[in-house]
């Protein structure tokens, strides 16, 4: 099918009610349990308005709240299209401060921190916060995101730092951000001071409580750590601050990306027949992560996957896979039952 243009969204959102009806946005809480357990989203996007709207439609519920961070250097037409979509929803807003985002630098962490600050000011008393990027889609319905079962704990990857990654924070780095999306990191010979808190390794994705967000933005040790860290911030920031706030720095509390519920990613180099971590990927890898295609959906929707979201999707690689995910989620919402991937 033809890709929806930025002009399409600027035109159709002139009548917000008709737009939301036509695009099948959920108009009311689907249960008392969901109504009474609102969720917050921090959504970092940079260039594909149709993919953004697909993600928003897939996770949208009127009791939740959504902060959208647009890369400050994204095209003007894209930004205007996002703004008109957001304007149709009282619980969706653009972050009050936008960053020029470059991969691997502090800017992406700051984008989510900006949203965290805005979300704490929202009148919605959300319980948990999830962060997303433009290539994510949910693989659980809102009702299936049973964060109550976390019992006030966070869920994110947090493990000891592999030796090969320790140089990221043992030495100062010079960072070239001239290119829009690719950065050059040059390690200097200058050693950094010791970290102010124990450093752990993790991913960019998290499911965290409101209390954690508030603590992180106010705690002096957390602020000192944010000023100290150098590059690939998100792969150490959330994992380290999670231990600071609630969990002792002990191997007993390690959590891998496969046991955390934040994101299901299919990493290259770990696929194959059982007992490999992942089955063979169907299409292509990007930054060593599988871009899901239609052939991966059977694996994605297996009942043993407890993750809430999956990454990566790209309509230029397989648009049918994205449409199928939406159809599966709609089936589960409408039928109130599990989807059988067989």
User: In this structure, how many other beta carbons lie within 10 angstroms of the beta carbon of residue 62?
Assistant: 17
36, 61 Cβ separation under 8 angstroms: no
Bridge partners of 67, per DSSP, are 42, 93
Catalytic residue among 6, 53, 99, 235: 235
- Residue 34 annotated among the catalytic residues of the structure: no
User: In this structure, how many other beta carbons lie within 10 angstroms of the beta carbon of residue 337?
Assistant: 8
CA–CA separation, 55 and 60 (whole Å): 8
Dihedral Cα 29, 34, 37, 42, nearest 10 deg:
-70
328, 301 Cβ separation under 8 angstroms: yes
CA–CA separation, 193 and 169 (whole Å): 9
Catalytic site positions: 235
């Amino acid at each position: 099918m033809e890709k929806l243009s930025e002009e399409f969204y600027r035109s159709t959102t002139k009548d917000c009610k008709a737009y939301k009806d036509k695009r099948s946005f959920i108009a009311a809480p689907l249960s008392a349990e969901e109504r009474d357990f609102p969720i917050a989203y921090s959504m970092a996007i940079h260039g594909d308005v149709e993919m953004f709207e697909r993600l928003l439609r897939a996770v949208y519920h009127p009791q939740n709240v959504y902060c959208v961070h647009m890369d400050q250097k994204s095209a003007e037409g894209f930004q205007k299209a996002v703004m008109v979509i957001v304007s149709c929803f009282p619980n969706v807003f653009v972050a009050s401060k936008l960053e020029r985002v470059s991969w691997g630098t502090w800017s992406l962490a700051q984008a989510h921190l900006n949203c965290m600050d805005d979300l704490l000011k929202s009148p919605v008393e959300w319980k948990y916060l999830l962060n997303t990027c433009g290539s994510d889609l949910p693989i659980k319905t809102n009702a299936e995101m049973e964060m109550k079962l976390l019992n006030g704990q966070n869920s994110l990857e947090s493990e000891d730092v592999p030796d090969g990654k320790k140089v990221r924070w043992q030495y100062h780095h010079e960072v070239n951000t001239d290119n829009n999306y690719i950065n050059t990191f040059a390690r200097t010979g200058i050693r950094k001071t010791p970290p102010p808190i124990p450093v752990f390794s993790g991913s960019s994705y998290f499911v965290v409580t409101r209390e954690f967000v508030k603590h992180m933005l106010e705690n002096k040790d957390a602020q000192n750590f944010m000023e100290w860290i150098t590059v690939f911030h998100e792969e150490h920031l959330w994992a380290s601050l999670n231990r600071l706030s609630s969990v002792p720095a002990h191997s007993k509390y390690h959590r891998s990306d496969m046991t955390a519920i934040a994101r299901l990613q299919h990493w290259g180099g770990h696929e194959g027949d059982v007992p490999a971590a992942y089955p063979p990927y169907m299409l292509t890898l990007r930054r060593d992560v599988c871009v899901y295609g239609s052939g991966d959906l059977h694996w994605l929707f297996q009942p043993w996957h407890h993750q809430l979201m999956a990454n990566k999707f790209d309509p230029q690689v397989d648009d049918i896979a994205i449409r199928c995910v939406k159809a599966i989620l709609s089936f589960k919402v409408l039928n109130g039952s599990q989807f059988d991937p067989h």
